[in-house]
Structure 1
Amino acid sequence: MGGNESVEVTAGIWGFLVLFGLALACWFLFRSMNAHLRKMTFQQREQVPENTRTAGARSEESPVPPEDDDPIGSARH
């Protein structure tokens, strides 16, 4: 069609800024997610001894079948 065919089209500074902003937002998101996951595992470790103490007290009072351990985790949290 004529014209100069050697012209290159690039994203320029705006493309870089958008990509950098997305990368920065992902970094903050992953950092927050990691902190929440650490908090959940810490709370779960604290609950395990409490559950074993209460299960021992319940077994002395009346025989109650133990709850099934769910290794995957369920929506009961």
Structure 2
Amino acid sequence: MGGTPSTDIGPGLGAFIAFFALAIILWFLMRNMNGRMRRMAYRERERIEALEAQERAASGATGAADDAPQDPGGSGPPGRSGPAA
């Protein structure tokens, strides 16, 4: 009974092409995401630098004697205003 055919069937060329296409798509997606993340970080850095420059200009215009950063919203606990007693 050695005449039975082999039933081993592999994924074939279609599966290879599908997997290769998915790999290429993933590569393009990761490349795009990396560029967007770099662009977002660069814009955030520019925004922070602009805010710091604006704060320095505002503190220079008011003639603040100390170099400590000012918190315009108040840094005290909520519900209290004015100097501590």
Unaligned runs of 5+ in 1: 67-77
Which is bigger in relative contact order (C-alpha 8 A, separation at least 6)? 1
Q: Percent identity?
A: 29
Partner residue of 2:19? 19
* TM-align CA RMSD: 2.7
CA distance in 1, matches of 2:16, 2:7: 20
Matched positions, count? 63
TM-score (norm. length: structure 1): 0.67
How many Å apart are 1:35 and its aligned residue? 0.4
Rg larger in 1 or in 2?
2
TM-score (norm. length: structure 2): 0.61
1:64 corresponds to which of 61, 72, 83:
72
How many Å apart are 1:6 and its aligned residue? 2.9
Give structure 1 regions of 4+ aligned residues with deviation exceeding 6 angstroms: none
Greater helix share, structure number: 1
